[in-house]
C-alpha cells in the first residue's frame, strides 16, 4: 500500500491511547510542507500508519544532484521548514527529531516543495508535565536535552540551526569520533565557521545561525523570530554558486552516515553515565539523576500517572558521528 509504514508493536508503544490522541491531532494538520497522516490501522498486534506519499527524495540527494546551488536556495528551504515548524509549535507539537533525512521533496519537479516527515518522536506539550526524554539524533540535539534539563519547543529551533549550517557548508557543526568530546561540544555550543568553507558565506547567514544555535533556550530565536530575520525575510542571502564545495562535503561526510540513528532516554543516560558528563551539568528546576527520568511537575497529574514523555523502551546505543573530512 503506497504511503503505508508499519508502526510500533503493542509492546513497544508508549501508550496506545496517547498514540490515538496524537493521531487525532496530526490528522487535523493542513500545511503544505508537512507530510499528512491519513489514518492508523490496527492489525495483528501492530499499528500501521498511513501517510501521504511523497516521491521527490531526500534533501541531501537533491542538493548533490544540482548543478547550481546558492545561499538563496538554502534560505528558501529553511523558510519552508520554519513556516511548517511554527505551525506545529502553534498547535503545541514539538517534533524533536528535525534533521535533513526527515526533509523530503514532495515530487521530482525542479521546483518541488519540501516536506517535514517522521513524527515518531514528536510530543504534544502538556501544561501538567515537562518534556524530559533525551531523544533525537546525535549532532542535531539541543544542549539542554543532553544536559538532562526540562526542555521546550526551542529544541526544534536549535535543530533547524544545525540544518541551516550544514546546508551552507556540507558538514556538521559538531563532530568528533569520541562521543564524550562530541557531547562536550554540543553542551558548550562550540562551533566555528571554518575557512575556506565559510569565506564566501554572508555575515547575515552566520548571524541567522548564531541566533538559532544559541546555547540558552530562553535567548534562542523562536520560529517566528527566525522568519523575520533578513536572511529569510529580506534580500541578504547571496546568489553565488556554492554547489561544488557544499556537494563535495555532503558526499564526504554523509555517505553511509550514522547520523540517521535516533536515540532515547535510556541510551543517552547510559552513555552520559559512562562518559561522566551528567554530573557536570546542573539542571534548571527539576532535573533527573543518572538513570532516572523526570517526574510530572508539581501541580500536574496525580502521582503514578504517566506523563507520556517518560514511558520509553530501551533503544539503540548512540553511534559515533562521522568527522567532517575538511
Closest Cα to residue 91, out of 136, 121, 127, 125? Answer: 125
3-class SS string, 203-248: HHHHHHHHHHCCCCCCCCCCHHHHHCCHHHHCCCCCCCECHHHHHH
Residues near 3 by beta carbon (within 8 Å), at least 6 away in sequence = 38, 50, 51, 52, 53
Given a cut of 70, whether residue 20 has pLDDT beyond it is: no
pTM reported for the whole predicted model: 0.74
d(CA 56, CA 186): 32
Which string of DSSP letters, residue by residue, matches 140-183? Answer: TS-HHHHTT--B-THHHHHHHHHHHHHHHHSS-SS--SSHHHHH
What pLDDT, on a 0 to 100 scale, did the predictor assign at position 62?
92
Task: Give 153-162 pLDDT, tens digit per residue.
Answer: 999 999 999 9
Closest Cα to residue 176, out of 53, 310, 69, 320? Answer: 320
d(CA 201, CA 238): 8
Closest Cα to residue 173, out of 192, 156, 197? Answer: 192
Given a cut of 80, whether residue 30 has pLDDT beyond it is: yes
Task: Give 3-18 pLDDT, tens digit per residue.
Answer: 444 444 333 444 455 5
Task: Give 241-251 pLDDT, tens digit per residue.
Answer: 999 999 999 99
Mean pLDDT value across residues 146-156: 86
d(CA 49, CA 270): 31
Alpha-carbon separation of residue 278 from 125, 184, 216, 231, 314 (angstroms): 25, 11, 18, 36, 19
Closest Cα to residue 192, out of 221, 169, 216, 163? Answer: 169
Given a cut of 70, whether residue 266 has pLDDT beyond it is: no
Task: Give 60-93 pLDDT, tens digit per residue.
Answer: 999 999 889 999 999 999 999 999 999 999 988 8
Beta bridge pairs of residue 48: 6, 41
Round the average pLDDT of the chain to a whole number and report it: 75
Task: Give 201-217 pLDDT, tens digit per residue.
Answer: 999 999 999 999 999 99
Structure confidence at residue 307 as a pLDDT band (50, 70, 90): very low
Q: Which residue has the higher pLDDT, 219 or 293?
A: 219
Q: Which residues are catalytic?
A: 97
Dihedral Cα 210, 212, 216, 221, nearest 10 deg:
120
Cell numbers found for residue 145 = 536535552
Structure confidence at residue 195 as a pLDDT band (50, 70, 90): very high
Q: All domains of the chain, ordered by start, with CATH?
A: 4-51 (3.30.200.20), 59-280 (1.10.510.10)
Amino acid at each position: 500500500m503506497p504511503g503505508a509504514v508499519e508502526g510500533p508493536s503493542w509492546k513497544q508503544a508508549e501508550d496506545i491511547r496517547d498514540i490515538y490522541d496524537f493521531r487525532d491531532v496530526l490528522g487535523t494538520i493542513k500545511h503544505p510542507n508537512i507530510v499528512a497522516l491519513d489514518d492508523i490501522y490496527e492489525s495483528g498486534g501492530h499499528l500501521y500508519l498511513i501517510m501521504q506519499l511523497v516521491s521527490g527524495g531526500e534533501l541531501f540527494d537533491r542538493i548533490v544532484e544540482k548543478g547550481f546551488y546558492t545561499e538563496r536556495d538554502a534560505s528558501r528551504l529553511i523558510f519552508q521548514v520554519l513556516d511548517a515548524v511554527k505551525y506545529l509549535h502553534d498547535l503545541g507539537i514539538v517534533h524533536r527529531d528535525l534533521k535533513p533525512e526527515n526533509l523530503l521533496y514532495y515530487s521530482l519537479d525542479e521546483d518541488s516543495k519540501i516536506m517535514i516527515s517522521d513524527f515518531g518522536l514528536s510530543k504534544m506539550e502538556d501544561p501538567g508535565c515537562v518534556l524530559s526524554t533525551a531523544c533525537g539524533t546525535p549532532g542535531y540535539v539541543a544542549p539542554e536535552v543532553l544536559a538532562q534539563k526540562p526542555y521546550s519547543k526551542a529544541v526544534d529551533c536549535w535543530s533547524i540551526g544545525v540544518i541551516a549550517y550544514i546546508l551552507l557548508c556540507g558538514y556538521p557543526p559538531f563532530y568528533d569520533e569520541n562521543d564524550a568530546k562530541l557531547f562536550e561540544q554540543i553542551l558548550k555550543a562550540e562551533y566555528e565557521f571554518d575557512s575556506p568553507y565559510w569565506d564566501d558565506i554572508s555575515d547575515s547567514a552566520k548571524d541567522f545561525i548564531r541566533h538559532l544555535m544559541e546555547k540558552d533556550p530562553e535567548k534562542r530565536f523562536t520560529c517566528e523570530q527566525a522568519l523575520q530575520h533578513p536572511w529569510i525575510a529580506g534580500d541578504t542571502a547571496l546568489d553565488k554558486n556554492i554547489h561544488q564545495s557544499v556537494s563535495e562535503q555532503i558526499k564526504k561526510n554523509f555517505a553511509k552516515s550514522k547520523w540517521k540513528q535516533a536515540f532515547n532516554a535510556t541510551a543517552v543516560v547510559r552513555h552520559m553515565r559512562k562518559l561522566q558528563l551528567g554530573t557536570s551539568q546542573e539542571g534548571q528546576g527539576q532535573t533527573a539523576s543518572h538513570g532516572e527520568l523526570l517526574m510530572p511537575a508539581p501541580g500536574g497529574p496525580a502521582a503514578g500517572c504517566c506523563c507520556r514523555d517518560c514511558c520509553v523502551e530501551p533503544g539503540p546505543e548512540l553511534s559515533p558521528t562521522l568527522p567532517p573530512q575538511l
